[in-house]
Amino acid sequence: MSKNVIDVTDETFETEVLQSDRPVVVDFWAPWCGPCRMMAPVIESAAAALDGKVKFAKVNTDQNVDHAMNFGVRAIPTMIVFSDGKEADRIVGFVPQAELLSKLRRHSEAADGAAKGNA
């Protein structure tokens, strides 16, 4: 885990994700999942590229089942983008870095626009 990606548990999910003031990408994963391990460096790289604009979190579904069940995570890896405490997007399975960044930049830009409109 890097400084750009935090571990979130069922106990910290509300504070770290739902109450965040910026978009949050939550990677639902498990240590035994091959595609999850393939996705890890892509997420780390995206987190570094979008540092400060989008928050990145990982939820180990073996240890934290409540929110995975609540959000209907049926396959891993599943990345859910939360904005203003609500699901804004969902990505299931491995995706290349360029595709992930493209999707996430749209959410970052939308959040920036909303913040500027409220200023």
d(Cα 58, Cα 68) in Å, to the nearest integer? 11
Q: Is 93 a catalytic residue?
A: no
d(Cα 2, Cα 24) in Å, to the nearest integer? 16
Cα 67 to the chain's mean position, in Å?
13
Q: Provide the strand spans (E) within 3-70.
A: 5-7, 24-29, 55-60
Cα 109 to the chain's mean position, in Å?
16
Q: Is 77 a catalytic residue?
A: no
Among 6, 22, 30, 33, which one carries the catalytic annotation?
A: 33
Among 5, 8, 17, 36, which one carries the catalytic annotation?
A: 36
Question: What positions carry a catalytic annotation?
Answer: 33, 36
